[in-house]
Structure 1
């Protein structure tokens, strides 16, 4: 008995685009680092087409969008909300704001995963929670914009609630309290966690320089945006977005 075979149609991949600010003076390394994160996210999301681009690389966002087969879900690898994520990014992409997810730094899961990572670092050093300080290093805003600082303090407060650290401090590169001054009051058993989305010049140079200026003798973790848990957090957010969209 013979029958008619229907043509097999492969399901269209769900499009996702991870966007970061990038490094205007040298876009290449930031593009490559973001691509590595996108590849890790893609490995966790079968059936998705995950791309990446930084806003600093000329024409890269537009090139990636041209390759998309559908309007992507856009994940901003930014530490705060504001003009870039709410206005500049949707306008440049030419998509509705409801396709742009909440930024990385606002994720409710971020302090949870960061606490697990910091606890592991403390154990490796032979430190107990009660004898370990956490120093959150952030950019801040020289112009006095409220959002960046408020998001940093919210993150630090969450860390203080999730584990019995001796103390959780915050220091900024461009506003008070300055990182160098805060570092001067930290004990040896301190983990500095850069509240940054990427390992650019601020993380590679400014933070270590300010810590040295303050006589810091603790350890420095990876920036939260480059931590081992970052791809998992991004993948979870994208999965949540598709479920909300289907509801």
Structure 2
């Protein structure tokens, strides 16, 4: 019986506590597998020693899905280096999925309806990582923001970053109470737990703070649909 195609969802993980990040990405892979019966779906982080190699073992040509928000250093250098010598095919990262703006707009629309807010009266603050070394992560975030602006008439859309200007605190200053903060992050780790709450507290943010994408209940189905397009 032929082996089903294998998909490996790869995230950065948490170097300070690799087991936590590994458990999160494995859980996401298992949830995605429920919507993708034609494939074997595994999860692995770069931070957990040997996790990616274990996920690759025994498969000739797996699909690698980088669960990253940008095509920066990790997806262009670190991950390909780890895949050297394999027949793995690396897909574009999650943050560049062409259907992500529509998915996000549907999500934001439900938030607006819950709050009884109109988009044209609401500010949208996209909190992202950015980079002090490369312009690419910020470019991806700003392009994403532009797509959201095309899909809904927001009163204001602004981006703030952890590692570059405008920094989170700068961008969040004087946001009205009718605001939504969307973390442009894959999982609820590191910056989402520390830098973002600190910036919002300092600026007395009174709006609605959302979870990062990895915690959205519809994300596994979204990932499965995206991955199905690339299955052999």
Task: Confirm or deny a common fold (TM above 0.5).
Answer: yes
d(CA) in 1 for partners of 2:135, 2:87: 26
User: Which residue is 1:4 aligned to?
Assistant: none
d(CA) in 1 for partners of 2:142, 2:8: 28
Q: Residue 56 of structure 1 is aligned with which of 34, 42, 47?
A: 47
TM-score by length of 2: 0.94
Matched, 1:182 2:200: no
User: Which residue is 1:201 aligned to?
Assistant: 190
d(CA) in 1 for partners of 2:172, 2:141: 16
Worse overlay, 99-108 or 80-89? 80-89
The 5 Å alignment of 1:60-71 reads 60-66=51-57, 68-71=58-61
Runs of 4+ in 1 over 6 A off after TM superposition: none
Pick the structure with greater CA Rg: 1
SS in 1 for 2:71: coil
Worse overlay, 88-97 or 33-42? 88-97
**CA deviation after TM superposition for structure 1 residue 173, in Å:** 1.4
Matched, 1:119 2:109: yes
Contact 2:180/2:209 (8 A) holds in 1 = yes
d(CA) in 1 for partners of 2:83, 2:125: 36
The 5 Å alignment of 1:96-111 reads 96=87, 99-111=89-101
Aligned residue pairs, count: 231
User: Which residue is 2:230 aligned to?
Assistant: 241
1:20-78 CA-to-partner distances (Å, cap 9, x unmatched) read 01110111121111111101110011131100100000111111212x43321010001
CA RMSD of superposed structures (Å): 1.5
Worse overlay, 152-161 or 233-242? 233-242
Contact 1:134/1:169 (8 A) holds in 2 = yes
Q: Residue 39 of structure 1 is aligned with which of 30, 43, 50?
A: 30
Matched, 1:213 2:202: yes
Unpaired runs of at least 5, structure 1: 1-9
Contact 1:15/1:70 (8 A) holds in 2 = no
Contact 1:16/1:74 (8 A) holds in 2 = yes
Contact 2:60/2:87 (8 A) holds in 1 = no
Unpaired runs of at least 5, structure 2: none
User: Which residue is 2:132 aligned to?
Assistant: 142
Compare the two structures and name the one with the higher helix fraction.
Answer: 1
TM-score by length of 1: 0.89
**CA deviation after TM superposition for structure 1 residue 203, in Å:** 0.6
**CA deviation after TM superposition for structure 1 residue 167, in Å:** 1.1
Contact 2:43/2:55 (8 A) holds in 1 = yes
1:90-125 CA-to-partner distances (Å, cap 9, x unmatched) read 22123357x100000001111110111011111111
**CA deviation after TM superposition for structure 1 residue 174, in Å:** 1.5
Contact 2:62/2:87 (8 A) holds in 1 = no
**CA deviation after TM superposition for structure 1 residue 236, in Å:** 2.0
